[in-house]
């Protein structure tokens, strides 16, 4: 206790000085709120891996026909599911205190007096949480409430210091939203539109760390700002769909910079309600639902739904009835297990939080948030394909590369857009830059084992390089050879080209013909030339193909001899005229 007291008293100096306290948030103030957590970037890898894995799995399943038990599109039973998704808002400090929201700090070092529920403490709303929360509200197309209030939800648990969680039960932040999943963007079989019932702000709990024979409690997470997103029940054609809904929610929230990434880090957790009913009669009510608590990966969500639906179907087919209960997921046994039944259900005794004033949002503040909303993933794809002329595949690659951080100034897509903006506009430049960013630069970064944040080629230098190509100053092969050098050479490409005389050589037709002749002045060359001359006038498909290969050989030879500094089309036409002459 003395240790805690020491730490918390250090924190006090901080919080006494800088507790801003806003009921109404003026528009001007809201705009300047920043929403970056200290260490979110470094931790984004696991969730990205998870996302990719789930997508790969979905793809594989589609190819070989989905796993029988996880598909519900056929058979006698319809499966319905509702999600309650908890995700941590992207803020530096906690919901009601000025302790940091760190996921990497040593246990029990980010605690203020209120987080430890010391006697005599009161919560003060941190206004910085409103920006990410409202972005989430708009991203999920919800209607924000002009006035929302906080309530206390009571239950005893050792990681819940106050004995209650402050949440929004009676008057939540926003209601009535929707989320659309499409086969193209999200890999679902058919378009799925689901309703978001409400979004509420709430406190996180502490974390229990198992250290047999003890359980250790880390209070760093206590009071971290969460939003809970509650969906209406929606029909499931397969358990994977639920995972995809979660992935979509996460992608959307990441895109608008609302939440901290990563299910593994507690950045996103879900409770899933599952019910089954006989297929066919749309008038029958939904079946009795069971809630599976605290699922923290996409795989756990998918597996838990599969297992729970099977369990319920088995009971019903044996003539039994489903009892409404709360269940937990056993990862090792891959089954759900009963936590408590209806009679053991916790009565949360919701009570209005007497210390906190309501959140009153002015329409100006809401408009300000709306105006500065980053683009959603679907909107980014549309923009990249329609405005920048990228193929949908390349657009998705860029989006995936960003792991949903496309709104950030240091994201790949911002980099891409900046490079395009820096180049004197020319037709098709968007596609060319796309190619260079994704395939050339992306390939090099991967082979160097770097993360995107460590990309050594600044936007100006890549723009310079691409301009050189577009303006016909250097050839593609020169540019390709130049790019890797830019990783270590800090000069701009134009400078290097100038210094090393890498620019395209302007040559007359005769000069070129001479060069070609020199290049073909070998045994193999002479043989190629002979064949080409023989095939003159032969327009058959086989001959065309053969000719193409042979001409490629000539071209390659010339390029090699000239260090790639001649234009390929000029060489081609010189070759044509040479063949005419022969």
Reported as type and span, the H/E element at residue 192 is strand 192-203
DSSP structure string for 72-118 = -SSSSEEEEEEEEEEEEB--SB-SSSSSB--SSSPTT-S--TTTTT-
Asked if residue 164 binds other proteins (CB under 8 A), the reply is yes
Asked if residue 154 binds other proteins (CB under 8 A), the reply is yes
Asked if residue 119 binds other proteins (CB under 8 A), the reply is yes
Q: Which of 121, 335, 362, 562 binds other proteins (CB under 8 A)?
A: 121
Q: Which of 319, 354, 427, 449 binds other proteins (CB under 8 A)?
A: 354
User: Quick check: helix, strand or coil at residue 174?
Assistant: strand
- Size, binding site for other proteins by CB under 8 A: 40
* Residue 41 Cβ vs other proteins, minimum distance, rounded to whole Å: 32
As a whole number of angstroms, the distance between CA 65 and CA 525 comes to 53
Residue (of 2, 22, 5) closest to 113 by Cα position: 5
* Residue 257 Cβ vs other proteins, minimum distance, rounded to whole Å: 27
User: Quick check: helix, strand or coil at residue 185?
Assistant: helix
* Residue 205 Cβ vs other proteins, minimum distance, rounded to whole Å: 13
Contact by Cβ (8 Å): 466, 432: yes
Q: What's the start-to-end Cα distance of the chain, in Å?
A: 97
Burial 387-421 (b: 16+ CB within 10 A, else e): ebbbeeebbbbbbbbbbbbbbbeebbbbbbbbbbe
As a whole number of angstroms, the distance between CA 3 and CA 14 comes to 18
Task: List CB contacts of 354: < 8 A, sequence separation 6 or more.
Answer: none
Contact by Cβ (8 Å): 15, 123: no
Q: Which residue lies nearer to other proteins by CB, 319 or 354? A: 354
N residues, the chain: 582
Q: Which of 158, 317, 500, 561 binds other proteins (CB under 8 A)?
A: 158
Asked if residue 65 binds other proteins (CB under 8 A), the reply is no
Q: Which residue lies nearer to other proteins by CB, 219 or 433? A: 219
Cα angle 463-469-473, degrees, rounded to a multiple of 5 = 115
Asked if residue 9 binds other proteins (CB under 8 A), the reply is yes
Q: Which of 30, 91, 93, 113 binds other proteins (CB under 8 A)?
A: 113
Q: Which of these ranges, 37-45, 336-344, 352-360, 535-543, lies near other proteins under the rule CB under 8 A?
A: 352-360
Binding mask 242-281 for other proteins (x = CB under 8 A): ----------------------------------------
As a whole number of angstroms, the distance between CA 312 and CA 7 comes to 50
Asked if residue 120 binds other proteins (CB under 8 A), the reply is yes
* Residue 167 Cβ vs other proteins, minimum distance, rounded to whole Å: 13
Asked if residue 295 binds other proteins (CB under 8 A), the reply is no
Q: Which of 233, 235, 328, 357 binds other proteins (CB under 8 A)?
A: 357
Cα atoms in the Cβ-side hemisphere of radius 13 Å centred on 264? 12
Asked if residue 12 binds other proteins (CB under 8 A), the reply is yes
* Residue 343 Cβ vs other proteins, minimum distance, rounded to whole Å: 13
Asked if residue 118 binds other proteins (CB under 8 A), the reply is yes
Query: DSSP class of residue 337?
Result: E
Q: Which residue lies nearer to other proteins by CB, 116 or 274? A: 116
213 upstream amide cis, omega within 30 of 0: yes
Asked if residue 355 binds other proteins (CB under 8 A), the reply is yes
The dihedrals phi and psi of 54, each to the nearest 5 degrees, come to -65, -35
Q: Which of these ranges, 75-83, 152-160, 388-396, 458-466, lies near other proteins under the rule CB under 8 A?
A: 152-160
Asked if residue 73 binds other proteins (CB under 8 A), the reply is no
Asked if residue 582 binds other proteins (CB under 8 A), the reply is no
Q: Which of these ranges, 233-241, 302-310, 347-355, 459-467, lies near other proteins under the rule CB under 8 A?
A: 347-355
Q: Which residue lies nearer to other proteins by CB, 166 or 192? A: 166
Asked if residue 56 binds other proteins (CB under 8 A), the reply is no
Q: For the beta carbon of residue 227, count every other beta carbon within 10 angstroms.
A: 26
Q: Which of 81, 116, 140, 260 binds other proteins (CB under 8 A)?
A: 116
Q: Which of these ranges, 120-128, 373-381, 412-420, 486-494, lies near other proteins under the rule CB under 8 A?
A: 120-128
Residue (of 242, 306, 241, 312) closest to 277 by Cα position: 312
Cα atoms in the Cβ-side hemisphere of radius 13 Å centred on 270? 28
Q: Which residue lies nearer to other proteins by CB, 11 or 274? A: 11
Asked if residue 103 binds other proteins (CB under 8 A), the reply is no
User: Quick check: helix, strand or coil at residue 60?
Assistant: helix
Task: List CB contacts of 454: < 8 A, sequence separation 6 or more.
Answer: 445
* Residue 66 Cβ vs other proteins, minimum distance, rounded to whole Å: 41
Q: For the beta carbon of residue 551, count every other beta carbon within 10 angstroms.
A: 17
Asked if residue 201 binds other proteins (CB under 8 A), the reply is no
Task: List CB contacts of 19: < 8 A, sequence separation 6 or more.
Answer: 98, 124
* Residue 126 Cβ vs other proteins, minimum distance, rounded to whole Å: 12
As a whole number of angstroms, the distance between CA 443 and CA 439 comes to 5
Q: Which residue lies nearer to other proteins by CB, 169 or 416? A: 169
Q: Which of 37, 87, 124, 200 binds other proteins (CB under 8 A)?
A: 124
* Residue 97 Cβ vs other proteins, minimum distance, rounded to whole Å: 11
Asked if residue 351 binds other proteins (CB under 8 A), the reply is yes
DSSP structure string for 128-146 = GGHHHHHHHHHHTTPEEPS
As a whole number of angstroms, the distance between CA 567 and CA 505 comes to 8
* Residue 113 Cβ vs other proteins, minimum distance, rounded to whole Å: 7
Asked if residue 20 binds other proteins (CB under 8 A), the reply is yes
As a whole number of angstroms, the distance between CA 356 and CA 352 comes to 9
Q: Which of these ranges, 121-129, 246-254, 508-516, 573-581, lies near other proteins under the rule CB under 8 A?
A: 121-129
Return the structure tokens found at 516: 């070609």
Residues 207-236 that bind other proteins (CB under 8 A): 213, 217
Residues of the shown chain interacting with other proteins in the complex, contacts defined by CB under 8 A: 1, 4-5, 8-9, 12, 15-16, 19-21, 113, 116-125, 152, 154, 156, 158, 161-164, 213, 217, 347, 349-351, 354-357
């Amino acid at each position: 206790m003395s240790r805690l007291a020491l730490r918390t008293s250090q924190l006090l100096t901080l919080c006494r000085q800088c507790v801003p306290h806003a009921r109404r948030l003026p528009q001007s103030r809201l705009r300047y709120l920043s929403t970056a957590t200290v260490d979110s970037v470094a931790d984004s890898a696991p969730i990205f891996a998870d996302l990719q894995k789930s997508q790969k799995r979905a793809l594989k399943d589609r190819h070989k026909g989905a796993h029988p038990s996880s598909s519900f599109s056929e058979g006698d039973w319809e499966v319905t599911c509702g999600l309650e998704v908890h995700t941590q808002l992207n803020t530096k400090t906690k919901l009601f205190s000025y302790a940091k929201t760190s996921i990497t700090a040593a246990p029990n070092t980010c605690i203020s007096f209120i987080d430890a529920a010391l006697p005599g403490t009161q919560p003060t709303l941190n206004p910085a949480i409103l920006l990410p929360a409202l972005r989430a509200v708009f991203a999920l197309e919800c209607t924000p409430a002009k006035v929302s209030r906080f309530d206390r939800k009571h239950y005893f648990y050792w990681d819940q210091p106050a004995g209650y969680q402050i949440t929004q039960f009676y008057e939540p932040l926003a209601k009535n939203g929707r989320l659309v999943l499409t086969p193209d963007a999200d890999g679902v079989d058919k378009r799925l539109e689901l309703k978001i019932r409400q979004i509420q702000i709430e406190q996180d709990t502490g974390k229990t760390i198992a250290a047999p024979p003890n359980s250790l409690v880390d209070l760093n997470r206590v009071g971290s700002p969460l939003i809970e997103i509650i969906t209406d029940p929606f029909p499931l054609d397969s358990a994977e769909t639920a995972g995809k809904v979660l992935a979509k929610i996460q992608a959307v929230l990441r895109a608008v910079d609302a939440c901290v990434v990563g299910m593994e880090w507690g950045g996103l957790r879900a409770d899933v309600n599952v019910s089954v009913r006989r297929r066919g009669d749309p008038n029958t009510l939904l079946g009795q639902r069971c809630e599976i608590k605290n699922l923290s990966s996409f795989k756990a969500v998918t597996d838990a739904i599969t297992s729970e639906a099977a369990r319920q179907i088995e009971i019903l087919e044996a003539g039994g009835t489903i009892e409404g209960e709360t269940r937990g997921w056993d990862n090792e046994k891959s089954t759900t297990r009963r936590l408590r039944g209806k009679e053991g259900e916790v009565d949360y005794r919701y009570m209005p939080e007497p210390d906190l004033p309501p959140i009153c949002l002015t329409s100006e503040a809401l408009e300000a948030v709306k105006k500065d909303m980053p683009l959603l993933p679907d909107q980014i794809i549309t923009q990249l394909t329609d405005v920048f002329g990228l193929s949908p595949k390349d657009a998705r690659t860029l989006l995936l590369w960003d792991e949903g951080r496309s709104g950030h100034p240091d994201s790949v897509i911002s980099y891409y857009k900046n490079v395009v903006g820096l180049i004197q506009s020319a037709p098709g430049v968007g596609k060319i830059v796309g190619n260079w960013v994704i395939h050339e630069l992306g390939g090099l970064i991967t082979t160097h084992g770097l993360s995107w944040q460590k990309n050594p080629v600044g936007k100006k230098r890549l723009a310079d390089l691409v301009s050189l190509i577009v303006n016909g100053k250097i050839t593609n092969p020169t540019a390709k050879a130049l790019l890797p050098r830019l990783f270590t050479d800090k000069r701009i490409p134009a400078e290097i080209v100038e210094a090393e005389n890498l620019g395209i050589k302007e040559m007359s037709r005769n000069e070129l013909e001479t060069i070609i002749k020199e290049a073909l002045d070998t045994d193999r060359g002479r043989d190629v030339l002979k064949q080409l001359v023989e095939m003159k006038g032969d327009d058959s498909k086989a001959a065309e193909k053969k000719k193409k290969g042979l001409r490629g050989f000539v071209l390659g030879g010339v390029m090699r001899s000239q260090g790639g500094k001649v234009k390929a089309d000029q060489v081609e036409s010189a070759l044509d005229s040479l063949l005419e002459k022969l």
